[in-house]
Amino acid sequence: MSTSPSLLGRLSVGSVWSPKTIASASLTLVFLCGGVVGALVMDLGVHNRQRLPAFETSQGQTQYFEHLQKELNLTPAQAEQVKSILGDFWQYYRTVLSECRGRIDTILTPEQRLKFEQLLQDQKR
């Protein structure tokens, strides 16, 4: 039989590890654990819940209005007036964006228009 110590025996408390080895192993373990946790969080979609919906979407408009209503403690009459004013603003916003987009389209080449469309689609995501 062999008299060499087993792996557990060599890793026992009595053995001396170099500080560099301990530091390297610790950093590697922390890095790997962080990667696993990050992957799980991204997979669960937690990052998407923390982003507010785009301002021009109906969900974004609703959240913005509810935030104003809560923070300003609006009365029902005030809330209706603010909602109407915001509705007018959002309609104006859409009109201005549409007009600007049309003006930009008139000066672009067909290839540039395709790229411009792609940029706009990417921005909505």
How high is the pLDDT of residue 93?
87
Q: pLDDT tens, 70-105? A: 999 999 999 999 999 999 998 998 899 889 999 999
Q: pLDDT tens, 48-71? A: 555 666 767 788 888 889 999 999
Tokens of 95: 């009109």
CA–CA separation, 76 and 81 (whole Å): 9
Contact 66, 79 (CB under 8 A): no
Residue 46: pLDDT band with limits 50, 70, 90: low
pLDDT at 11 over 60: no
- Domain positions in the chain are 52-124
How high is the pLDDT of residue 74?
92
Tokens of 7: 């792996």
Residue with tokens 């790229």: 115
* pTM of the complete model beyond 0.75: no
Tokens of 119: 């940029």
Average pLDDT, the chain: 81
